[in-house]
Structure 1
Amino acid sequence: MQTTNVYYSRQINSLACSREVKLHNHICFDLFFFFEFFQAQKNELTRIDLIVMSF
């Protein structure tokens, strides 16, 4: 389960970077640190909610 979550997190990060890098280069770095922080958390629902709110 954790491996799947990390996979999707990195996929979302890559998608956001490729889509927004030209206008908001800092988004890539923000998402990177955001996902690195929440990968250590146990509550996946909270992570999903925060991801939705961040976009």
Structure 2
Amino acid sequence: MNWRKLHKEGKITKEKQISSDPIREELLRLRKELEETKLERDTLKKAASSPREAGKI
């Protein structure tokens, strides 16, 4: 059976799709950490590229 059909029928949910496998959990954690790091990097790049604002920090 197709997972989409099962989802529409309410037999599976997003929570059930995510397994409790430690490797999967680590992958999700690392993806979240990477996204946060990218946001920090972009914020710092923006601050460093603006000389007027850099002196106010």
TM-score bucket of the superposed structures, by smaller chain: 0.3 to 0.5
Based on CA coordinates, which of the two structures has the bigger radius of gyration? Answer: 2
The TM-score with structure 1 as length reference comes to 0.38
Greater relative contact order (CA < 8 Å, ≥ 6 in sequence): 1
Q: Which has the higher helix share?
A: 1
